[in-house]
Chains A and B, each alone.
Chain A
Amino acid sequence: MLKQRPAPKKDFTAADMPHNRFGVFFDVLAQRFSTLFVLGLILLAAALPLIAVTIIRNLNVARAEAFADESEKALLIYSYINTCNFIAIFCYAFYAVLLAGAFGVIRKLVWQEGVIFKHDFFTSVKENGLSFALYAAVGALLYYLVQRSFRGLYFDSGTAQEIAAIASAAAFTLYMPTIGLSFTQSTVYNLGIFKKFSNSFLLSMRTFYLTLPVAAISFAPLALTLIPNFTVFVISLIALNVVFAPLASLANVLYADGVLDKFINKEHFPQIVDKGVWRNGVDKNEKTQ
């Protein structure tokens, strides 16, 4: 027997729909929590190679701590971290392929469209997986270079090493904000990989004061994985993927939509400006009820 709650006396109208992107965020969270949870489980599965590499790295580093000779210990730890961070580039690329699927589903949720989960997820993987993997791999490579160059200062604090460290950090700082915009563009426009990146770079430069903090908040919880306690580390990784990753993706899509609306859609694609948002309780694309 299908139990129904008593029907409200009033019709649900456009005035009851979310009026801004914050409203859309909480509306999707309330209405489609189970969909977000399933996406979280998929992302957790996608993160398993990365989690394995991180655990192996941490175990090797812990084992290296047992070495008495300080310089030998430092070199061993440096070597383990570099090797694992390099392997992690491929793990991030793999993760990003499935993240593409998640973004495809989230795109439908944000635009208040019907979701056919399996179809929408795998279509997005097929259409956007390669670009997501590339963007993620570049980000992971820059992160590897930052780590390598800053840790390398322990062994060589010369000018060249310092320049390399600063340059890699600058490149990483400039690159990371573009990722969310690149990912979101992939679910909206049919553009080449480099065109989307150049759009994202220009847009993130124009909105750096906002895009950088948004990117920082999106990636900040990764700091939890630096906690030395193994149990906390594992719980953090699970929570990060199952809970935080879908929410961060949702927030990123909403933020990026705002930027894309302002700088691209307003002029070129007015029909998708504020799609999924019912400002003033009116949707220009729908009849009100």
Chain B
Amino acid sequence: MASIKTKKLNKYYVDKKEKTATAVLYDVDLDIPDGKFTVVVGPSGCGKTTLLKTLAGVIPADDGKIYFNGADVTDALPKDRNVSLVTQEYALYPHLTVFDNVAYPLKLEKVPAEELRRRVNDALGLLDISLLSSRKPAKLSGGQRQRVAIARALVKEPDVVFMDEPLSNLDAATRKELAVKLKNISATTRATFVYVTHNDEEARFLADYIVKMENGSIKLAMPAKDYYNL
């Protein structure tokens, strides 16, 4: 698990034609506690996804610092930050089985075969998808595909799991089911979860810690129980 801290984090999108720069993240000072389920909320276009991707290292920050457990990771690649990212598009390899999809990050790290098998089977069991091990994604429902994506995110035992509206493409019943599963998983794993959503009900159910954004800045950040008692 890891605490996440940012100091004056800035990200601009530059319009070369108009020769202007728009601040998508503006002087973001954040302090996310370790091991907690932090939910980032805010209106569309306020910079939630950009914040997530910058913290994950998928896009570089233009200014400011990012710290994981006190260590400066601002210039570190995603693979060096020990993080996972789950998005709403699943991003599963269609030609690989569920087992191979989940095993993929471990194969990149050259994890020994028997340990790889054990960790993949554990991750599949955690998401109740052991049955699907030999199936390919085409046969799976949206909810099952997202479970596979989450299993793949968890299998590498990351310090932080970033989730960008992972349930938004799913029907209400499946969203509810998976939200409960995520809550249980966050209680049993040691990872810090940073979860972006625009769904208030989801945020209320999942969050230990709330970060509210507006126009690229942090409006407030506090424990969820205090936020919902305001």
List residues of A (28-86) whose CB comes within 8 Å of B's CBs. 31-32, 34
Q: Does A130 contact B (CB under 8 A)?
A: no
Mask of B109-123 contacts with A, CB within 8 angstroms, 1/0: 000010011001100
A12 to B133, Cβ gap below 8 A?
no
Complex Cα distance A195/B121, Å?
33
Q: Quick check: is A268 within 8 A (CB to CB) of the other chain?
A: no
Question: Which A100-136 residues sit within 8 Å CB-CB of chain B?
Answer: 109, 112-116, 119-120
Nearest B residue to A119, CB-CB: B113
A12 in contact with B132 given A5-B94, A7-B141 (CB within 8 Å): yes
Given contacts A32-B97, A114-B120, 12 further A-B contacts (CB under 8 A): A2-B93, A4-B145, A7-B145, A10-B141, A31-B135, A113-B99, A114-B100, A114-B133, A116-B113, A283-B131, A286-B131, A288-B131
A286 to B132, CA, bound (A): 10
Check if A267 is an interface residue, CB within 8 A of chain B.
no
Query: Are A9 and B90 also in contact (CB < 8 A) when A114-B100, A286-B130 are?
Result: no
Cα of A239 to Cα of B90 in the assembled complex, Å: 39
Q: Please, which residue of chain B has its CB at the minimum distance from the CB of A7?
A: B142
Contact of A17 with B138 in the complex, beta carbons under 8 Å = no
Given A287-B128, A287-B131: A4 touches B137 (CB 8 Å cut-off): yes
28 A-B contacts (beta carbon < 8 Å): A2-B91, A2-B94, A3-B94, A4-B89, A4-B92, A4-B137, A4-B138, A7-B140, A7-B142, A8-B139, A11-B141, A11-B143, A11-B144, A12-B144, A13-B131, A17-B131, A31-B136, A32-B134, A112-B134, A113-B133, A114-B100, A114-B103, A114-B117, A114-B134, A115-B99, A116-B116, A286-B130, A288-B131
Task: Decide if A9 touches B92 in the complex (CB within 8 Å).
Answer: no
The B65-109 residues at the A interface (CB cut-off 8 A) are 89-95, 97, 99-100, 103
Return the CB mask of B161-205 against A: 1 if under 8 Å, else 0: 000000000000000000000000000000000000000000000
Question: Which residue of chain A has its CB nearest to the CB of B98?
Answer: A114
Task: Say yes or no: A8 contacts B141, CB within 8 Å.
Answer: yes
Q: CB of B23 within 8 A of chain A? A: no
Give B residues with C-beta under 8 Å from A: 89-95, 97, 99-100, 103, 113, 116-117, 120-121, 128-145
- Closest Cβ of chain B to A25, distance in Å, is 14
Closest to A116 in B: B113
By a CB distance below 8 angstroms, the chain B residues around A109 are 134
Question: Which 7 A-B pairs have CB atoms at the shortest separation, nearest pair first?
Answer: A114-B99, A119-B113, A7-B142, A112-B134, A11-B141, A5-B138, A116-B113
Q: Known contacts being A4-B94, A114-B134, is A12 close to B140, with CB within 8 Å?
A: yes
Q: Is A289 an interface residue (CB 8 A)?
A: yes
Closest to A2 in B: B91
Residues of A within 8 A of B121 (CB): 114
Q: Is A234 an interface residue, CB under 8 A from the partner?
A: no
**For residue B133, which residues in chain A have a CB less than 8 angstroms away from its CB?**
112-114
Taking the complex as formed, is A14 at the interface, i.e. its CB lies under 8 A from any CB of chain B?
yes
CB-defined contacts of A11 to chain B, threshold 8 Å: 140-141, 143-144
Residues of B within 8 A of A289 (CB): 128-129, 131-132, 144
Residues of A within 8 A of B113 (CB): 116, 119-120
- Least CB distance from B32 to A in Å reads 30
- How long is the Cα–Cα vector from A287 to B129 in the complex, in angstroms? 9
Complex CA distance for A283 and B132, rounded to whole angstroms? 12
- Given A114-B117, A114-B120 in contact, is the A31-B134 Cβ separation under 8 Å? yes
